[in-house]
Amino acid sequence: MKKKIIHAVMLSTIVLATAAQIAPAALSADSTDSQIANANSTIQSASSGAAQAKAQQDALQGQVDSANAQLQKLTNDSQKTSAQITNLAAQVKARQASLSDQARSAQTNGGATSYINTILNAKSITDAVQKITAMTQVVSASDTMVKQQQQDQKNLQAKLAANEKAYAEATKLQQQLQVQQANLKVAQLNYQATIATATNTKNSLLAQKAAAQAAATKVAEQQAAAVAAQKAAATQAPQAATPAASSNNSNSNTTVSNETVSQATTSNTNSTPAATPGTSTSGNPYPWGQCTWGVWEYFGGGIPTYSGNAADWVAYANSGLAVGTIAVFPAGVDTAGGYGHVGVVTSVNSDGSFVISETNATAGLGGRDSRTIASAAGVSFIRP
């Protein structure tokens, strides 16, 4: 009957240990999923920004193309206007020279005399008037033509100046558009870098999640196998009780611990008499009857092998106060002796105190009892 009770307690402990191991994994998975969701949000936001930047860049490219076309047209117009000004200036210069020659000829060869000769040689008064009028019109037409050419030249020069001003403005606009285009390109590259970084982060998190899930599955399978083994042992216990008591008397232990726990200021219940010396769960590596030996026995050997004395187990601390954890008391903490002390937490109270199952304390070497610890101060905990 006692063995059935012990097996039931061990089975309950394994189930609790399994739940405690799965809970942190679930929390870690939730955290990873949250980080993956954040990475997805970053990727989506950056992708949207990159698309907007690309649309703005495409629209700006149209303006740049238009500015380039305008600059080319202004360049062509400027070249044509410059050629026209050059040709017209040459014509004006040539005609001015011709008119100057005519003026000098008129002054030298006749002037007023030419007009008198024209009148005297006229056949009639009407003929004289017509000849004088024709001569005047020729001189006036030449003078008008020169003035008109000079005005055309001024107009072309004004047109050239306006063209150069428009060219300068178009050049400035083109430069501004090119700066905007470069800024949009930089923004787009930044978005792409953000997307790449977030994608790498997401892929890394997915890999970590897959590895964690695989590890959790492996742990769950191991725990299930342990539970099945405990159930099988509990079923066969009545038939195997006597052989089990006599079959484990040889135990060559290597590492580990001795400890002495003062029995002052403790509350003890459910004390179990000391086990038969030398009787251990198969493979127990700790000295018979010590507290480390008792922890191994409590879990039926289903824990890692921790090296050193009880106080040295603090190096394996990986948990807070919780049912199913191993409480590690350094020397001097809660009356632990020079080698320290270990026990298994069986319950946690609302006031912060907790109960441990321990060996080699008030029940003596190889004996097991329960004790209430007032506070977790100075105590470390191991999740097996």
Q: Looking at the chain, which residues constitute the CATH 3.90.1720.10 domain(s)?
A: 251-382
In angstroms, rounded to a whole number, what is the distance separating the alpha carbons of residues 220 and 214? 10
- Phi-psi map region of 301: left, alpha, beta (phi>0 left; psi -120 to 50 alpha): left
Say whether pLDDT at 165 is over 70. yes
Average pLDDT of every residue of the chain: 78
Say whether pLDDT at 166 is over 60. yes
The predicted pLDDT at position 233 comes to 58
The predicted pLDDT at position 278 comes to 59
The predicted pLDDT at position 382 comes to 98
77-114 burial, b at 16+ Cβ within 10 Å, e below that, comes to: bbeebeebbeebbeebeeeeeeeeeeeeeeeeeeeeee
> What is the band of 13 on the pLDDT scale with cuts at 50, 70, 90?
very low
The predicted pLDDT at position 304 comes to 95
Say whether pLDDT at 281 is over 80. no
For 98, how many CA atoms within 13 A lie in the half-sphere containing its CB?
12
The predicted pLDDT at position 379 comes to 97
Asked whether the beta carbons of 244 and 233 are under 8 A apart, the reply is: no
In angstroms, rounded to a whole number, what is the distance separating the alpha carbons of residues 327 and 317? 9
How far, in Å, are 43, 176, 378 from residue 208 at the CA level?
19, 48, 34
pLDDT digits (tens, 9 = 90+) for 99-140: 667 656 655 554 555 667 767 777 778 877 887 787 777 767
Considering 54-63, 204-213, 275-284, 338-347, the range whose residues carry the highest mean pLDDT is: 338-347
What global pTM score does this model have?
Answer: 0.34
> What is the band of 280 on the pLDDT scale with cuts at 50, 70, 90?
confident
How far, in Å, are 132, 134, 180 from residue 106 at the CA level?
14, 15, 68
Say whether pLDDT at 152 is over 50. yes
Which of 226, 184, 208, 211 is CA-nearest to residue 49? 184
Q: What is the CA radius of gyration of the chain?
A: 55
Say whether pLDDT at 20 is over 60. no
CATH architecture, domain 20-215: Orthogonal Bundle (1.10)
Say whether pLDDT at 149 is over 90. no
Considering 79-93, 176-190, 288-302, the range whose residues carry the highest mean pLDDT is: 288-302
The predicted pLDDT at position 345 comes to 98
pLDDT greater at residue 164 or residue 15? 164
pLDDT greater at residue 372 or residue 126? 372
Q: Looking at the chain, which residues constitute the CATH 1.10.287 domain(s)?
A: 20-215
Which of 30, 31, 60, 51 is CA-nearest to residue 195? 51
Is 3.90.1150.10 the CATH classification of the domain at 251-382? no
Among 14-18, 27-31, 104-108, name the one with the lowest average pLDDT.
14-18
The predicted pLDDT at position 93 comes to 78
pLDDT digits (tens, 9 = 90+) for 313-347: 999 999 999 999 999 999 999 989 999 999 999 99
pLDDT greater at residue 273 or residue 357? 357
Residues β-bridged to residue 358: 369
